[in-house]
């Protein structure tokens, strides 16, 4: 598909404008607040992989809950337009649709690393024989910290119990066959595969189905961190079958800085009371939750892992964003993402500068909406040049600029303008 698109791409502003005029998702841009420079001109925002833009309806939904709080106080739990006791439930289906899950397998709660710890309490059950956790070598630091602390908490040594799936020497991307070899050699010692799915640095997407099958064949539990995957790649969590997944919602899902995360627990674990877990009263069945003096009776499915009643003011922007996703349709969003990143790749290659190296895989099935661009001998001043020109992207040491055109609010002209600026900046290096 990418090759076919590349055959039609053109390096011109006229072409980009024409694509935008004929873009069936183009009007969704108007549902977001586009940041502006001090002169009031809109910025070109290509940083949705770090923090998504604010849906315009977020303010309305937050104010709705402030009004409920002011007018109804505690009765808002049952009398608000969306009763607070049910608020997380209305988010389950649209979130499940994005992730390819059943609503009962998905819950919005806590934040990402908290949820990762909760999942590992249940799904990392080390023994003297099987005690290792396998992660990718350049996982996001929080994942690394979390798995190390879980290993130590269970009385094992990360030096012996933590395995890294690494790229080969002089390569940036992890190879699936190398992971397969690790599992073949050490699978009977591995308790958990915990993979980041979409690597924050390179943008490489790791295949959920294949990794899950490898892990399960070896008797391992399998989980994924979808921080850079949720709202970005096709996860198909239910059919692909991992035991659990966790994610944040403030990147591609546009829920606001530090907003809530989410959990997926496959339905085969829905009624397994033998799974250890940390428990709290919001995971207790609703019909007896307020009785207060009964033993913990978990809600079947992912809801049973909840701890405390949810922060409604943080859930309101998630509701606003998920409504947009539902209206646009995730298949349509993903289709445009492939076209946008394909166009960006085409434009960068068309610059013809040998100093440029795209770390991210060229196959659109092996990446999401991010391209990681490396420029030989460049430094942060290259990134500063973009920022000074009103193009917001992301710098990662030592020499990578991450560019992530988000399909719901970015345009083909945004991508074109980024390439124009890159061409100009390269003249100074």
Sheet with strand 371-375: strands edge to edge: 356-358, 371-375, 400-403, 394-396
Task: Give the pLDDT score at 293.
Answer: 82
pLDDT digits (tens, 9 = 90+) for 326-374: 999 999 999 999 999 999 999 999 999 899 999 999 999 999 999 999 9
Q: If pLDDT is split at 50, 70 and 90, which confidence band does 7 have?
A: low
Q: What are phi and psi of 183, to 5 degrees?
A: -65, -40
Strands (E), 345-404: 356-358, 371-375, 391-392, 394-396, 400-403
Q: Indicate if the pLDDT at residue 80 is higher than 60.
A: yes
- pLDDT class of 2 with cuts at 50, 70, 90: very low
106-140 per-position pLDDT tens digit: 999 999 999 999 999 999 999 999 999 999 999 99
Query: Span 27-34, mean pLDDT?
Result: 98
Element containing residue 76 per DSSP (H, E): helix 76-79
CA distance linking residue 302 with residue 299, whole number of Å: 8
Residue 350: its pLDDT value, please? 95
To the question of pTM greater than 0.85 for the whole model, the response is yes
Contacts of 20 (CB under 8 A, 6+ apart): 26, 411, 412, 413
Question: Tell me, what's the pLDDT at 340?
Answer: 97
Residues 247, 95: contact at Cβ < 8 Å? no
Q: Is pLDDT at 200 greater than 60 in this prediction?
A: yes
The pLDDT tens digits for 94-105 are 999 999 999 999
Spatial neighbors of 295 by CB under 8 A, at least 6 apart, are none
Residue ranges of domains in the chain, CATH in brackets? 2-56+329-426 (3.90.1150.10), 82-326 (3.40.640.10)
- Say whether pLDDT at 378 is over 90: no
∠320-405-140 over CA atoms, to 5°?
Answer: 85
At residue 381 the predicted structure's pLDDT band, cuts being 50, 70 and 90, is confident
Residue range 371-399: average pLDDT?
A: 89
Q: pLDDT tens across 279-332, in order?
A: 999 999 988 888 878 899 999 999 999 999 999 999 999 999 999 999 999 999
Distance CA 260, CA 34 (A): 22
Query: Residue 305: how many CB atoms within 10 A of its CB?
Result: 27
Cβ atoms within 10 Å of 391's Cβ, excluding its own: 21
Is pLDDT at 410 greater than 50 in this prediction? yes
Residue-wise pLDDT for 207-256, tens only, equals 999 999 999 999 999 999 999 999 999 999 999 999 999 999 999 999 99
Q: What confidence tier does 1 reach under pLDDT thresholds 50, 70, 90? A: very low
What's the mean per-residue pLDDT of the chain? 95
């Amino acid at each position: 598909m990418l090759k076919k698109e590349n055959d039609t791409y053109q390096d011109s502003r006229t072409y980009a404008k024409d694509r935008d005029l004929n873009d069936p998702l183009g009007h969704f841009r108007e549902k977001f607040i586009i940041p502006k420079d001090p002169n009031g001109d809109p910025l070109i925002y290509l940083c949705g992989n770090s923090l998504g833009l604010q849906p315009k309806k977020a303010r309305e939904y937050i104010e709705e809950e402030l009004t409920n709080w002011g007018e109804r106080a505690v009765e808002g739990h049952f009398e608000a337009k969306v009763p607070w006791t049910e608020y997380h439930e209305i988010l389950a289906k649209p979130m499940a649709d994005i992730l390819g899950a059943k609503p009962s397998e998905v819950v919005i709660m806590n934040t990402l690393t908290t949820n990762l710890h909760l999942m590992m309490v249940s799904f990392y059950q080390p023994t003297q024989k099987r005690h290792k956790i396998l992660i990718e070598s350049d996982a996001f630091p929080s994942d690394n910290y979390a798995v190390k602390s879980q290993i130590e908490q269970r009385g094992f040594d990360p030096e012996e119990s933590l395995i890294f799936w690494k790229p080969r020497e002089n390569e940036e991307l992890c190879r699936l066959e190398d992971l397969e070899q690790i599992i073949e050699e050490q699978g009977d010692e591995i308790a958990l595969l915990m993979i980041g799915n979409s690597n924050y640095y390179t943008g490489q997407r790791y295949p959920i189905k294949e990794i899950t099958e490898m892990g399960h064949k070896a008797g391992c539990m399998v989980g994924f961190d979808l921080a850079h995957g949720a709202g970005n790649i096709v996860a198909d969590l239910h059919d692909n079958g991992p035991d659990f997944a966790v994610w944040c919602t403030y990147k591609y899902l546009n829920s606001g800085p530090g907003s809530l995360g989410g959990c997926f627990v496959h339905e085969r674990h829905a009624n397994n009371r033998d799974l250890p877990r940390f428990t709290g009263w919001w995971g207790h069945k609703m019909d007896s939750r307020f009785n207060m003096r009964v033993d913990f009776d978990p809600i079947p499915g992912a809801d049973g892992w909840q701890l405390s009643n949810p922060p409604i003011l943080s859930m309101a922007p998630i509701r606003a964003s998920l409504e947009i996703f539902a209206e646009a349709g995730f298949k349509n969003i993903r289709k445009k993402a492939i076209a946008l990143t394909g166009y960006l790749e085409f434009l960068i290659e068309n610059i013809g500068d040998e100093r440029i190296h795209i770390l991210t895989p060229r196959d659109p099935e092996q990446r999401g909406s991010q391209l990681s661009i490396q420029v030989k001998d460049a430094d942060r001043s290259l990134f500063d040049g973009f920022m000074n020109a009103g193009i917001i992207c992301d710098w990662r040491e030592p020499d990578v600029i991450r560019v992530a055109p988000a399909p719901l609010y970015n345009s083909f002209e945004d991508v074109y303008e980024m390439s124009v600026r890159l061409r100009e900046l390269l003249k100074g290096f």
